[in-house]
A and B are shown apart, each in its own frame.
Chain A
Amino acid sequence: MAANENPVTAPTLNAIPKIKSKSSYKRKLTLYGVLFALPWMLGILIFSAYPLVMSIYYSFTSYSILDAGQWVGIGNYKELMSDNTFRISIYNTLYYTLISVPLNIAVGVALALLLNTKIRGQGIYRTLFFIPSLVPAVATTIIWMWLLNPQFGLVNYWLEKIGISGPPWLGDEHWAKPSLILMSLWGVGQAIVIYLAGLQDIPQDYYDAADVDGASTARKLRHITLPLMTPVIFFNLIMGVIGTMQNFVLPYTLTNGTGAPAGSLMFYVMYLYQNAFLYLKMGYASAMAWILFLIVLVLTILIFVSQKRWVHYQGKES
């Protein structure tokens, strides 16, 4: 690996006649290296390093746009612990993450398996399942508000047809989050593409060997396909948890930022946004950002630690 990434070795240098000495050539390369990377080095400083430091600092102050604020120590963090809306937003966000991520994985894997079979119209099916994930979130919101309209929506019409009286969906505090989860399933196409790519990587030899042994389809699925899909499932699990913990646009546009009904759609980042840009409590919101970062970090580490138990990488004996 190291040899590949350091391509200028002595023989190559000798092959270039114009270069007088090794050190001046190296200096020239360093100069170009720095020059080419300069925008990004500045970018890291301005848009990552400096904000990172300032965010920690702000989280210990009562900073708002209007005044410079005062040092309050861990005051913001203490206040958060007794903030009721904060607690609700954590509950809602974890609830949503814990249900929608596994459900999205289950549906995504199942559809990918179906889409991977050699059947007629495979291309059309794949396109069909992918397109919804291209729809902008604001448009998704509007479309589903109409579909889930309790009185005139298509969904409740169909439910009525099979004899179920449909719930009030987004109008009811118990049904609002399930509605959102349903909406998130509609955008599962992006994950399906990744699962399909993972399925391509499974060598045909394994299936051939299983066929010789007379294994059934179910056994091949259980002992070959699913275990070898675990690396992509792992990837989608991590991306899914990070993404849903930061869930913002769907619930924000659905409720115009209020989190109604009864705070059931108040998500963590929505409340953070409210504090920062509505109440201008920038210090308080910075403290929230750090708590979110820690929660996501802990969840990611937990998933990483768990991978030894269930993720099978090809070429590694389990």
Chain B
Amino acid sequence: MKTRSLRTIKNAVTHLFLIVFGIFFLSPFLWILSTSLKPNEELFLWPPKWIPSTLMWSNFPDAISYFPFFTYLGNTLTITVLATVGILFSCPLVAYSLARIPWKGSKPLFGLTLIVMMLPYQVTMIPIFIVFKNLGWVGTNVPLWLPAFFGAPFYIFLLRQFFMGLPKELEDAGRIDGASEMRIYAQIMLPLCKPALLTVALFQIIGSWTDYQGPLIYLSDETQYTLMLGLSSFKTQHGAEWQLMMATSAMITLPVIILYFVVQKAFIRGITFSGIK
């Protein structure tokens, strides 16, 4: 009886802490929602008003019409799709070579991959910029997706670990049946690492979608801007119209959150159905 009441108290204290911290984590979202639906004249009320007197749904289309939202969306999607395709082409190929093909160079190349992973972005940023400048690609979106086709160390590392965990019998069976290495890779190994590929794709999509520094360095023409650059310049131009900025922020953030939860479900399903775990 005594231990039971003690546990109830403990649980209550835990809930209390989580709720207090939870307010800190949740209230910005509620505040975005509240602000994005406010009429202009209720923005600067003191004390602040949580529920607007009229719900201004028109703030959302207004925000979109304030800057070339759909152009920026198109630009962002183009970069995101091309970069993700590039990553999904290059990284599993390289990871497969490192993990499953026994050749002399695989170990040194893996070591090199780890070193590259530790190299800070700032050190290589300037020479890479100069190379793209000389190729005439500064001011286009090419530098933002082309490198993806040549692999990225973190994803290669992740996929290599995944390939290492697959049973050896799979490719032996393929080899005995006379399948080429290419077929073993494409028809046996790739389908098995779908959950890992999905994870890598998710990381890359979120990475490209939210990237700020890359577009900032390479894009100068406003018609080329991504959503992040657009949002940032929107802030400079309409700094006091918080209802529009909140509406835009919400629209740009929501896809990331939705995508995360959709893929997370598929990811867990992928693991359970592939028979690996």
Residues of A within 8 A of B (CB): 5-8, 12, 15-18, 28-30, 32-37, 39-44, 46-48, 50-52, 54-55, 58, 65, 111, 114-115, 117, 119-120, 125, 128-129, 131-132, 134-139, 141-147, 151-152, 154, 157, 185-186, 189, 217, 242, 246, 248-249, 252-253, 256, 269, 272-273, 276-277, 282, 285-286, 288-290, 292-293, 296
Residues of B within 8 A of A (CB): 10-11, 14-15, 17-18, 21-22, 24-29, 31-32, 35, 43-48, 89-90, 93-94, 96-98, 100-107, 109, 112-113, 116, 119-131, 133, 147, 149-151, 156, 168, 172, 175-176, 178, 181-182, 185, 206, 209-210, 212-213, 216-217, 228, 231-232, 235-236, 242, 245-246, 249, 252-253, 256-257, 260
CB-CB < 8 A to B48: which residues of A? 152, 154, 157
Considering the complex, give the chain B residue whose CB is closest to the CB of A160.
B47
- Evaluate contact between A29 and B102: CB separation under 8 angstroms: yes
Q: How far is the CA of A151 from the CA of B43 in the complex (A)?
A: 11
Q: Which of B17, B104, B130 contacts A30 (CB 8 A)?
A: B104
- Evaluate contact between A157 and B46: CB separation under 8 angstroms: yes
Given the interface pairs A36-B97, A37-B98, the reply to whether A276 lies near B125 with Cβ below 8 Å is yes
Query: Per DSSP, are chain B's interface residues mostly helix, strand or loop, or mixed?
Result: helix
Given the interface pairs A134-B206, A139-B252, A152-B48, the reply to whether A34 lies near B123 with Cβ below 8 Å is no
For residue B244, give the distance in angstroms from its CB to the closest CB of chain A. 11
- Evaluate contact between B104 and A128: CB separation under 8 angstroms: no
Given the interface pairs A143-B246, A154-B48, the reply to whether A134 lies near B257 with Cβ below 8 Å is yes
- Evaluate contact between B112 and A44: CB separation under 8 angstroms: yes
Considering the complex, give the chain B residue whose CB is closest to the CB of A296.
B120
CB-CB < 8 A to B228: which residues of A? 136, 138
CB-CB < 8 A to A137: which residues of B? 210, 212
Those 7 A-B pairs whose CB atoms lie nearest each other, nearest first: A43-B150, A33-B103, A36-B97, A51-B127, A51-B124, A40-B151, A136-B210
CB-CB < 8 A to A46: which residues of B? 131, 150
A-B contact list, 10 entries, CB within 8 Å = A12-B172, A32-B97, A35-B97, A40-B94, A48-B119, A128-B26, A131-B25, A137-B212, A277-B129, A293-B120
Q: How far is the CA of A207 from the CA of B73 in the complex (A)?
A: 52
What would 12 more interface pairs be, CB under 8 Å, given A144-B28, A157-B46?
Answer: A33-B102, A36-B94, A36-B101, A40-B94, A55-B127, A58-B127, A117-B14, A136-B212, A138-B210, A139-B252, A142-B231, A154-B27
